[in-house]
Structure 1
Amino acid sequence: MSNLNIAKVAVLGAGVMGAQIAAHLVNARVPVLLFDLPAKEGPKNGIALKAIENLKKLSPAPFGVKDDAQYIEPANYDDDIEKLKDCDLVIEAIAERMDWKHDLYKKVSPYIADHAIFATNTSGLSITALSDGFSDELKARFCGVHFFNPPRYMHLVELIPTASTRPEIVDQLETFLTSVVGKGAVRAKDTPNFIANRVGIFSILAVIAEAQKFGLRFDEVDDLTGARLGRAKSATFRTADVVGLDTMAHVIKTMQDNLAGDPFFPVYETPAVLAGLVKQGALGQKTGAGFYKKDGKAIKVLDPKKGEYVESGAKADELIGRILKRPAPERLKLLRESQHPQAQFLWAIFRDVFHYIGVHLESIADNARDVDFAIRWGFGWNEGPFEGWQAAGWQQVAKWVQEDIEAGKALSTAPLPAWVFDGPVAEKGGVHTAEGSWSPQARKFVPRSDLPVYEKQVFRAPLAGEAGVDPRTYGRTLFETDAVRAWVDDRAGEDDVVIVSFKSKMNTIGPSVIDGLTQAIALAENDYKGVVIWQPTSLKLGNPGGAFSAGANLEEAMPAFMTGGAKGIEPFVKKFQQGMLRVKYASVPVVSAVSGIALGGGCELALHSAKRVAHIESYIGLVEVGVGLVPAGGGLKEAALRAAEAASAVNATSDLLKFVQKSFENAAMAKVSASALDARAMGYLKPSDTIVFNVHELLDIAKKEARALSASGYRPPLRVKQVPVAGRSAISTIKASLVNMRDGRFISDHDYLIASRIAEAVCGGDVEAGSLVDEEWLLKLERQAFVDLLGTQKTQERIMGMLQTGKPVRN
């Protein structure tokens, strides 16, 4: 495959999707031109400029750092069309009208470079029909590239080639989207709504139909079809509100217009309740009302019979909740046999989707794997529909589904295809096997893509039933305790870096984790090139439970507190600090591979590492004030050292407060980065640290960084003996601003006390400005502040509140 260097991208259309695609490309440091029509009034780029400005206000934020909006270059088709010649990829993202798209293509196609890929972000129109009128040469470079909304956060991108698209074009685009943009690429056939929307919208329509049949409320359905089924918390109707009911109606209309011969065609009728809401302009979240409506602080739900919003809160029956916790085969059997309407409803929606994907697999996808990934990544299911079917017992479930079809209980009379019951799938017990995933067209199990980009993924996204590897046991274990596992990737050429993975809840750090980490560093110093700290939980895409480390393990410290009081914790804190110094001064590089949350002690572990490799969705911060404490694992000490280093670089050591102010605010306000890019702006990541966009590449890149440091003759930093600090005058300045906040009741008296102790630690204590101190002095200030605060009643209240509720207590 020849390399395609995508140095610049043009996005055509500055609507919601086009602008957000442009924003995420800028996150990935890809220069972007954002085109739209020339404005009739004001600046000719006014439409694109307004879209760029609106991006800054969106939530969730499209940018990793809001100021990066400046890197999107606005353009219009009158003045800037020649600039298309400089672009390597052109993505069209205008409204879903075939005629509008064709008009635009006629205008831009003469200016698209001969080597450039031309792609459309349509959510369901025929890619082949869109390419009508193109030259053969442009047809060969044209395909669909369907991002999901919001593009920064949704992992799925569907790639849809036509019969004319050159295979290498799709390979090049998949490589770029996977590694540079960080997506999971699924190849779909050129059929209406492709894979994810075809199956996902059918699933929603089935839920609406079955809920009506069994008389269930919308909020009741959402409680049944969300987290309890391992799906997005927003479940069915909340998801529809978030997506937009007009958008959903449009996707359904595409199915109505293009699937007349489909055996499930009657299901594609727009539900009356949806049509009614759209007609009223109640389009969901963007209009303030849809299936749900916010009324003051209360969330109300639509009662379609009454035609009004009522109090929400209907839940799954306790019996159904217990059934849903049973193993898959037992769960489906119990749901099918129960007479409870909620159980009947759940069995029905499982059956409907199994029926649909069985009938349609051959027409919409190359293999079953692509269907499962499309639904997992595009609709937030933990388990794809084929995975669920296979886990519950392939042949038994197929038999039950066919019985319901024959009994007239299903949504279509179409029988399941023969391959479901006979041949390799039946023999293997499902569609996912060690050889690959079932392709009805090829009549065989198809292996995964072998594009070179996937060589960087030590652990590819797993599929139940496939011959995947478990990151918790993979490789050769060097040693393992209850707290950590130290191991190496035992493939040839990959076994020269020690990998340390934590086993504690949320990867918290206690004495046992420190012991394991110290042991791993000692091992590496004797026989390996470096250490990478990497957590298997980083692979849980879209799962807020994924963590690099949630910080110090307060529960592990509680026995020492119960027996020795606040002073009894001091050895715990000192051990934590010494563990961080062991990381910093190891004679081999220690690289932190950060993804998800790195809070408190997790942030401090990253700060002390030789280098950090962070996934774009990394949320890093010193948050100890939430439990009434100060960071005491060296985080404030590192802030003081970095401030002195920055001041020295510009000969400004006489004004250290200016350099320490940001770090003080970060810790005192418990600021957490909104992305890895934001963490860099906050100072938690250095400009030289690496940010990766595909979480599956995190471990491979971290190992390569450790090797590169080793190969360049890595030496740890010299121990800090003398560092200038801001001193008592800076502390007084900070405290003066804190007094104003306290007296204005913006912060409590206890907040004032905590922030004052943070100021003392980052400014080096009660010494003259510019005084020289050593690292141990700064650590002692942290440690003393931590112990003193722990002895106060209000801090103890905050800690107990956090342990009991998981939420900060304000006192």
Structure 2
Amino acid sequence: MGAQIAAHLVNANIETLLFELPAPSGDANANVIKAIGKLKKQEPAPLSTIAKAGSIEPANYEQHLEKLRDCDVVIEAIAERLDLKAQLYEKVAPFLHDRAIFASNTSGLSINKLAETVPESLRPRFCGIHFFNPPRYMHLVEVIPSAHSDGEALDVLEAFLVTALGKGVIRAKDTPNFIANRVGIFSILSNIHHAQQYGLRFDLVDKLAGTLIGRPKSATFRTADLVGLDILAHVMQTMHDELADDPWHEYLAVPDWLQKLVEQGALGQKSGQGIYYKQGKEIHVLDPATGDYRPSASEVDSEVEALLKQKDPVAKFAALRAHTHPQAQFLWAIHRDLFHYCAVHLAAIAANARDLDLAVRWGFGWQQGPFEIWQAAGWRTVTEWINADIDAGQSMAQTPLPDWVQAVGQGPAQGVHAQEGSYAPAADSLQPRSQLPVYRRQLFPDRLVGETAAYGETVFETDALRMWHTGDQLAIVSFKTKKHTIDDTVLQGMQQVIAEAERHFRALILWQTEPPFSLGANLQKATERPKREAPPSAFDEFVKKIKKTAQSTILQAARSLDMADALMAGKLAEVEAMIARFQQVSQSLRYSMVPTVAAVDGLALGGGCEFVMHCDRAVATLETYIGLVEAGVGLLPAGGGCKEFAMRAARHAIDGDPFPYLKHYFETVAMAKLAKSAEQAKALSYLTPADTIVMNRFELLHVAKAQALALAEVGYRPPLRSREIVVAGSTGVATIKGTLVNMREGGFISEHDYLIGGKIAHVMCGGDVVAGSRVDEDWLLELERAAFIELLATEKTQARIAHTLKTGKPLRN
């Protein structure tokens, strides 16, 4: 865990020392060097790029303690034993400077007990800090003060964690396992108990209590395998040992079957076997009654599944409670006991209901926290049901709900969350969000049920997008299409947006209110069969073939252009016209009279990536996944992506030859490379060196506005149009095709891959012209459109699209 925390620190460009025990022989740094080496191989990748591993400075306790004198934050992350931690504190404390913050990364040990083991002078700057695994990806960090912790030091640490590391910080009380693990582990134990009660297999529980109820796909038991069964057992044992007075204490013990797995070394994913294991291609799951494994084959009842897909949470929970099927009863029971547990313990473990809900969401990946689910389902009605089940002896504990539960149900919010704040038991009132200066950067923080977000003042709005502002002359456009796909209505709207921004605003920002940035085409519309009003044409037979084999001519993750309607009407010319319209919007973003900034979070694929590449500046979160992935379905980028890479190669041309750079760009496009971080996106040239990486997605709009304003303040003028772009010409095409021929003959690519690669090379090298020729942007855009139409007309590209739509996986034909 310490190495993974170090990895995330260097992801954020923070100079980092990683300490380990000295090796008994040879290089004293052998242990720490090995730990750093493992970071390069782990999945999911702890490092934003493998090269970042070289930025971690190795150190050991025997030779390098003096280096701690230069460290502002020191995080201890050794084994969860009070005695070992105390010994380490004694060793390192003399080397910490008088302003350094010292924190223990512990998942549940008492921070007050740990604080007593550090020197008295250090105690004000000591606290608990609990990163969730894996640290790069999990948003939550719990900060746990001791009785001695200095408030100003904690505020400094919180600001650092939020902005520099991109974390969601929750201040937790010093209680066993703090907030997220306290609630999350109880939820796992409750699921285990009710699985046995209703006779449900573990794999069925994971299907029921995963994505169907707004939790991660890994649900309960797959999550346990991912976390590590030894770690899970340790946290459970901590709760059992430290919470003797808990009304649910009898359920907090480590189950016998789990203890046996740990003793056998079946620790989950890290050992290759746990609750699940893979035998060949078949997944097997543990039967706790026998200790044997059986093939995973359980299915969710169709009635229960349909019930769970209801959009109205009030009706959903009423149906769950009333349904007699064991699966429905299981789902009601796990929610009832979770709500009950959280209500009884809120005052002891968290400052308010917001902290509990966000801790569970950010730490365990739930879409909503326990109190949010309760409130959305109808606080007063659900409260009555819980009370009835307690009275009937059906709940896991007989402790009554606290009095405040009934009171908040009678209040205006009819629950614990409202616009003005969330319920805090200590004050018996709604507590507003933190007023620390760092949170002013979060213009639209992660909101809860009961809160609404007012996204500025509307300039104009269509079914596809909304243009708005917050009173600062910076226009913002947000898409309304599903997954922010780009269809013809978006393109038409964007033309109006850009014109409006040029007339009345100082800059234009592309920002989505929720990720992703854009997944590409509007598949729902693309697969609709349009009404035929014109008589059949000769092209109709071609259209029918596409419809039969592909059911679509667009891939969500590959094209950002909805062309199905035009294809189905049998008008090939319209397809090309729509591509031209996309190119026009891209060019308008590039040459707008006001600066354009793309604020990117999550996926930006195909046309979404092309929009980003054409803006004056991009501001991207670290967890931005961006790429021109059209080649994966037999197409090429036709919204200006190929043109853009050809221009970039020309700008870097060595002695007038763009080919050395063009090779890199060609590989990126032809191999449909997807950048799995913003850092990788820079390495692949989807993002430029001038683009900014933001660690916290909730600060993205704030930083994008600052970038847009900075461009406007210097008297922005659009770049001059490129009229003499030096291209590699037919010589470059021939060189690339030579490589492709060798790959084809060696069986590394198919005949169709060769065709696609050749088309991409033809466009990016400027077509059939002499090497060193100079062309303009329109020339390259025309090549894009023509090559796209030619590839779209091939049967193998149609087959690739059809296969990917059906399976979600690429086809190599």
Could you state the TM-score of these two structures normalised by the residue count of structure 2?
Answer: 0.93
Deviates more, 1:609-618 or 1:259-268: 259-268
Q: How does 1:318-397 map to 2 (within 5 A)?
A: 318-326=302-310, 327-397=312-382
Match of 1:288 among 254, 272, 275: 272
| Separation in structure 1 between the aligned mates of residue 44 and residue 792 of structure 2, nearest angstrom | 36
Q: Which amino acid aligns with 2:228?
A: G
State the identity as a percent: 55
| Separation in structure 1 between the aligned mates of residue 517 and residue 614 of structure 2, nearest angstrom | 25
Q: Which amino acid aligns with 1:366?
A: A
Contact 1:653–1:724 (CA under 8 A) maintained in structure 2: yes
Residues 78, 158 of structure 1: alpha-carbon distance in 2 compared, 3 angstrom cutoff: same
Indicate the SS of the match to 2:514.
helix
Residues 216, 355 of structure 1: alpha-carbon distance in 2 compared, 3 angstrom cutoff: same
- Residue matched to 1:253: 237
Match of 1:511 among 479, 483, 488: 488
Deviation at 1:537, TM superposition (A): 2.2
| Separation in structure 2 between the aligned mates of residue 677 and residue 520 of structure 1, nearest angstrom | 30
Q: Which runs of 5+ in 2 are unaligned?
A: 523-555
Give per-residue Cα distances to partners, 1:501-543, cap 9 Å, x unaligned.
11222222233212211211111112211000111122899xx
How large is the RMSD of aligned CA atoms in angstroms? 1.7
- Residue matched to 1:579: 585
Contact 1:35–1:76 (CA under 8 A) maintained in structure 2: yes
Indicate whether 1:487 and 2:471 are aligned.
Answer: no
Q: Which amino acid aligns with 1:498?
A: A
- Residue matched to 1:621: 627
- Residue matched to 2:605: 599
Q: How does 1:693-708 map to 2 (within 5 A)?
A: 693-708=695-710
Indicate whether 1:46 and 2:52 are aligned.
Answer: no
Indicate whether 1:162 and 2:112 are aligned.
Answer: no
Indicate the SS of the match to 1:479.
strand
Q: Which amino acid aligns with 1:460?
A: P
- Residue matched to 2:498: 521
Give per-residue Cα distances to partners, 1:764-800, cap 9 Å, x unaligned.
1122221111111111111111111112111222233
Indicate whether 1:406 and 2:391 are aligned.
Answer: yes
Contact 1:391–1:464 (CA under 8 A) maintained in structure 2: yes
Contact 1:565–1:791 (CA under 8 A) maintained in structure 2: no
Q: Which amino acid aligns with 2:121?
A: E
| Separation in structure 1 between the aligned mates of residue 408 and residue 716 of structure 2, nearest angstrom | 58
Residues 553, 721 of structure 1: alpha-carbon distance in 2 compared, 3 angstrom cutoff: closer
Match of 2:650 among 632, 644, 647: 644
Contact 2:607–2:639 (CA under 8 A) maintained in structure 1: yes
| Separation in structure 1 between the aligned mates of residue 725 and residue 374 of structure 2, nearest angstrom | 63
Deviation at 1:134, TM superposition (A): 2.7
Match of 2:43 among 46, 59, 62: 59
- Residue matched to 1:10: none
- Residue matched to 1:440: 425
Indicate whether 1:244 and 2:228 are aligned.
Answer: yes
Contact 2:610–2:640 (CA under 8 A) maintained in structure 1: yes
Deviation at 1:135, TM superposition (A): 3.2
- Residue matched to 1:663: 665
Indicate the SS of the match to 1:137.
coil
Match of 1:498 among 472, 475, 482: 475
Contact 1:395–1:421 (CA under 8 A) maintained in structure 2: yes
Q: How does 1:142-157 map to 2 (within 5 A)?
A: 142-157=126-141
- Residue matched to 2:282: 298
Match of 1:653 among 642, 650, 656: 656
| Separation in structure 2 between the aligned mates of residue 387 and residue 628 of structure 1, nearest angstrom | 44
Deviation at 1:45, TM superposition (A): 1.1
Contact 2:515–2:603 (CA under 8 A) maintained in structure 1: no
Indicate the SS of the match to 2:327.
helix
Indicate whether 1:738 and 2:737 are aligned.
Answer: no
| Separation in structure 2 between the aligned mates of residue 300 and residue 497 of structure 1, nearest angstrom | 55
Indicate whether 1:135 and 2:135 are aligned.
Answer: no
Indicate the SS of the match to 1:469.
coil
Contact 2:125–2:153 (CA under 8 A) maintained in structure 1: yes
- Residue matched to 2:253: 269
| Separation in structure 1 between the aligned mates of residue 265 and residue 133 of structure 2, nearest angstrom | 21
- Residue matched to 2:686: 684
Q: How does 1:183-202 map to 2 (within 5 A)?
A: 183-202=167-186
Match of 1:477 among 433, 455, 458: 458
Match of 1:181 among 158, 165, 171: 165
Indicate the SS of the match to 1:223.
helix
- Residue matched to 1:14: none
Q: Which amino acid aligns with 1:253?
A: Q
Contact 1:577–1:632 (CA under 8 A) maintained in structure 2: yes
- Residue matched to 1:771: 773
Indicate the SS of the match to 1:536.
coil
- Residue matched to 2:567: 561
- Residue matched to 1:788: 790
Contact 1:589–1:714 (CA under 8 A) maintained in structure 2: yes
Give per-residue Cα distances to partners, 1:673-715, cap 9 Å, x unaligned.
0100000111111111111011111111111111100101111
- Residue matched to 2:536: none
Deviation at 1:133, TM superposition (A): 3.3
Q: Which amino acid aligns with 2:655?
A: A
Q: Number of aligned pairs?
A: 776
Q: Which amino acid aligns with 1:396?
A: T
Contact 1:550–1:597 (CA under 8 A) maintained in structure 2: no
Indicate the SS of the match to 2:122.
helix
Residues 551, 485 of structure 1: alpha-carbon distance in 2 compared, 3 angstrom cutoff: farther
- Residue matched to 1:108: 92
| Separation in structure 2 between the aligned mates of residue 330 and residue 683 of structure 1, nearest angstrom | 49
Give per-residue Cα distances to partners, 1:411-436, cap 9 Å, x unaligned.
22222112112368656421112331
| Separation in structure 1 between the aligned mates of residue 231 and residue 760 of structure 2, nearest angstrom | 49
Contact 1:508–1:553 (CA under 8 A) maintained in structure 2: yes
| Separation in structure 1 between the aligned mates of residue 626 and residue 331 of structure 2, nearest angstrom | 39
- Residue matched to 2:549: none
Deviation at 1:565, TM superposition (A): 5.5
Q: Which runs of 5+ in 1 are unaligned?
A: 1-16
- Residue matched to 1:6: none
Deviates more, 1:427-436 or 1:255-264: 427-436
Contact 1:508–1:552 (CA under 8 A) maintained in structure 2: no
| Separation in structure 2 between the aligned mates of residue 423 and residue 573 of structure 1, nearest angstrom | 55
- Residue matched to 1:11: none
Deviation at 1:395, TM superposition (A): 2.1
Contact 2:86–2:118 (CA under 8 A) maintained in structure 1: no
Residues 540, 764 of structure 1: alpha-carbon distance in 2 compared, 3 angstrom cutoff: closer
- Residue matched to 1:419: 404
- Residue matched to 1:590: 596
Indicate the SS of the match to 1:570.
helix
Indicate the SS of the match to 2:569.
helix
Indicate whether 1:531 and 2:508 are aligned.
Answer: yes
| Separation in structure 1 between the aligned mates of residue 724 and residue 367 of structure 2, nearest angstrom | 52
Residues 516, 38 of structure 1: alpha-carbon distance in 2 compared, 3 angstrom cutoff: same
| Separation in structure 1 between the aligned mates of residue 621 and residue 473 of structure 2, nearest angstrom | 23
| Separation in structure 2 between the aligned mates of residue 18 and residue 128 of structure 1, nearest angstrom | 22
- Residue matched to 2:759: 757
| Separation in structure 1 between the aligned mates of residue 635 and residue 377 of structure 2, nearest angstrom | 48
Contact 1:222–1:234 (CA under 8 A) maintained in structure 2: yes
Residues 316, 65 of structure 1: alpha-carbon distance in 2 compared, 3 angstrom cutoff: same
- Residue matched to 2:548: none
| Separation in structure 1 between the aligned mates of residue 806 and residue 263 of structure 2, nearest angstrom | 46
